[in-house]
Amino acid sequence: MGVLDDLRLDGKVALVTGAARGLGQGMALGLAEAGADVVGLDIVPMEETEGKVAATGRRFHAMNRDLLETKAEGAAEIVAHCVSEMGRLDILVNNAGIIRRDQALEFGEDDWESVIQVNLSAAFYLSQAAARRFVEQGDGGKIINTASVLSYEGGITVPSYAASKAGIANLTRALSNEWAPLGINVNALAPSYYTTELTGAIRENEERSTALLARIPAGRYGEPEDLKGAVVLLSSLAGDFIHGSVLPVDGGWLGR
């Protein structure tokens, strides 16, 4: 087999959270194009994602769940439902995320707790449930978390988001230390500023947008499609010796 064969995901099943739009939709489509069947999880309808995945000839199953309510028991139910519908689970992409903006002196309790729950706690519980399934199946698995350039930087007026993304980066390393011997790869992608709903307010602010674009060596915002190659690599045989990495897909932001 050659390297292109190693990148194929035929026969694999991937669970992608936050799959209705943005980065999650882009990654779900990339996985499907590489041959994986996809379970999408979101709190909103996923007809658009389903149509795009179906156009590749792969199966898509939608799960409407609220990760604000997802603890260990809920995560186990989500994984069990994936296996019941699709027969197995091979890849987990913890992509779902929310952001709240306010001055730290005024930052509210709900704005802290909700972001930590969705971005970090739910990702841990889903990773734990998926890893237990991978061990049961006996042939390993792949977990890809969505970190951020704010895993490395503090940002401005987004304390809970910055804390959650720094947490995701170190959670990725911690889980990989334990699970690499089990044949489970745990890695993360660190996007910069992409054309998604989360960055809408920033991109609509002409002054802030101009400053951001000047800071990105590639000279543009990222598009969800820019994550396809990286997520396929980390989900495939070609990425089997990659453990605990946080891979920037950032247009050069962190190198500036």
Q: Give catalytic residue positions.
A: 161
Task: Give the residue among 30, 21, 36 at the shortest CA–CA distance from 82.
Answer: 36
Q: What are the C-alpha distances in Å from 109 to residues 102, 105, 150, 159, 236?
A: 12, 11, 21, 12, 40
Residue type, 92: L
Per-state percent for the chain, helix, strand, coil, to nearest 5: 55, 15, 30
- What Rg, from alpha-carbon coordinates, does the chain have? 17
Alpha helices in the chain (DSSP H): 3-6, 22-33, 47-55, 72-86, 109-116, 122-137, 159-179, 200-204, 206-215, 228-235
